[in-house]
Amino acid sequence: MGVCDNKTNAILMLVNALTVLVGILVTLCGVLGILKQDTLSDYSGGYNIEMICYGILITGIIILIVGAIGWYAGFTSNIKVCRVYCVLIIIIVALQAAFAVMEFLKKGDVLEEVESYMNATFNETAYDDMSNSTQKVVDLIQETLECCGLNNATDWTGQLPASCCETPDSNSTDSNSTEPVDFKCTVDIAYDDGCKGEAMEFADKAILFTFYILVIGFFIEFMCIFAACWVVREARRYSKIRS
């Protein structure tokens, strides 16, 4: 068969070239996660980071292999390779559909997990009484979500964590002095929102975002199946003409 006989072949090759790129990036994320799992464990809340990282690594490798097969199918118009590719894509679509159903059914459980994690992480009212690893987690949550305390800033006793406030430029100085200002976070200037509510909202949006990604994935995968079937059709027709 010829190389890239028509536009369908070119589309199949382009989509799967991008798939290969995504597979490489996901694989690299998995490798980096495995190498940095000791650091990530400080923010895991007891979850098995190693298993998650290996799961990401395996997912990346699968995406890479499927993308490579699809690109080769488009490049060569090989009927057997196209059939294998279609079968793999159909299996992936079925798995994604199962995942989407599970995500919908388990949404409430996920939000409960987030709520429990926040309650456990912010279970002490004095920031200075927390362990160093817990302080890192609290600071990361408060800085990322721009929140303070479990429900609000008044949940903390004693000095508020600096992460409860928008930290001014470290180079800022008092108008009457050349010395840097010693910044202290107070309830008056702390973030208004509590971290539990913000985390729950973030998790809800993350689940919705995942659903949108799955929908886009379904569209691309069905397009790939159609393209592969079209390549098979054209390959058969070309074979009949030659014979």
69 lies in some domain: yes
Residue 203 belongs to a domain: no
Judgement on whether residues 74 and 140 belong to the same structural domain of the protein: no
The boundaries of the domain holding residue 25 are: 7-96+222-242
pLDDT band at 142 (very low <50, low <70, confident <90, very high): very high
Are residues 88 and 119 both part of a single domain?
no
The reply to whether 11 and 90 lie within a common domain is yes
The answer as to whether 58 is a domain residue is: yes
Domain presence at residue 207: no
- 213 domain-assigned: no
- Is 234 part of any domain? yes
Residue 47 lies in a domain: yes
Q: Structure tokens of 50?
A: 């190693």
Confidence bin at 69 (pLDDT 50/70/90): very high
Ranking 5-14, 111-120, 132-141 by mean pLDDT, the lowest is: 5-14
Collapsing DSSP to helix, strand or coil, 180 comes out as: strand
Give the residue, 206 or 237, on which the prediction is more confident.
206
pLDDT single digits (tens) 35-44: 876 666 655 5
Number of domains into which the chain is organized = 2
Question: What pLDDT is recorded for position 239?
Answer: 67
Top-confidence range, 63-72, 175-184, 226-235: 63-72
pLDDT at 114: 86
Q: Are residues 44 and 70 in the same domain?
A: yes
| pTM greater than 0.75 | no
Same-domain pairing of 124 and 60: no
- Residues 13 and 52 occupy one common structural domain: yes
Whether 90 and 153 share a structural domain:
no
* H-helix segments, 106-194: 107-121, 132-145
139 and 92 belong to one structural domain: no
The rounded distance, in Å, linking the Cα atoms of 35 and 56 is: 13
Q: Residue 128 domain-assigned?
A: yes
CATH code of residue 144: 1.10.1450.10
Same domain, 92 and 115: no
Q: With b meaning 16 or more CB within 10 Å and e meaning fewer, what string describes 65-76?
A: ebbbbbbbbbbb
Judged by DSSP in three states, 173 sits in strand
